[in-house]
A = this chain, B = another copy of it.
């Protein structure tokens, strides 16, 4: 039939619509509603076959693991690293897998279990919808977080694009040498069971569109299938003129409050029934390239 049936076609209409979309709010946001990500908090992974994946690190949630990752990047630990696991609707995982390579100086081989942090001191913008995994949910400093006021903990959560540290069975917490990114529906059951160190802010599609591994847990069967990584560097180690720069919407801003409200109550021309709620991982805190 001559009819381009566009799911969410209204998103294309933007300014023509009298109603507002999340994208409208991002487009019209004031500069003050954004915070620049420090270059020391950006991990830049370039694939040998082309394509870049940029990760924002979260030192306030997993400081020892993040310090390890910085030391691993600076010490060129990941020379020869590959993406060796792609499990559909779950994770892409990379690193050196079963290599014998030792860690660079400064890497803590057995970090503490940085799975939660004290809630005390964090000013959280409440989600305003119930969360199945924790008594409280919201946003702190640009990150989706869950928390428990009674027990006093807060934690980063596993959403699409979240980056965590591969580990073996407890009490091992992983060094940071093997990392994964979520490429499917939020596996929130992993929250508070593994160290989350950041999120992909650009290029997640370079991971999510890779062929799935056919071995148990999505490991590639043959090493020939491994996807080679050219380099993993901190943005702060890339010459300033070449380094990418990103900014995150300030989740304490009025702009974000509006964004969150519209996310929970989509009312543009495509939607006939706003949900009146939204789940933590479906909010997607806006992150964009800084020009």
Contacts and interface: CB of A to CB of B under 8 A. Distances in A.
Interface of A: 1-12, 86, 88-89, 91, 93, 95-103, 109, 113, 115, 127, 129-134, 159-161, 164, 166-170, 172, 174-175, 177-178, 180, 184-194, 204-205, 208-212, 216-217, 263, 266, 269-273, 275-282
Nearest to A206: B212
A133 B272 contact: no
A220 to B, nearest CB: 13
A177 B168 CA distance: 47
Given A132-B279, A178-B5, A282-B187, A160 B89 contact: yes
A275 B116 CA distance: 13
A119 to B, nearest CB: 16
Contacts of A168: 3-6, 9
* Residue among A103, A131, A189, A208 with the highest chain B CB neighbour number at 10 A: A189
A6 B166 CA distance: 6
B133 A132 contact: no
B186 A282 contact: yes
Given A130-B132, A131-B130, A88 B7 contact: no
A275 B129 CA distance: 18
A89 B185 CA distance: 9
What 9 A-B pairs come out closest when comparing CB atoms? A130-B130, A129-B132, A5-B166, A132-B277, A5-B178, A88-B205, A160-B185, A132-B279, A205-B212
Contacts of A211: 209
Contact of A282 (B6, B170, B188): B188
A209 to B, nearest CB: 5
Given A133-B275, A188-B279, 15 more contacts: A2-B99, A2-B100, A6-B166, A7-B166, A7-B180, A7-B217, A88-B205, A160-B185, A185-B281, A186-B282, A192-B273, A193-B271, A208-B212, A209-B209, A209-B211
Contact of A188 (B102, B270, B275): B275
A193 B88 contact: no
A49 to B, nearest CB: 13
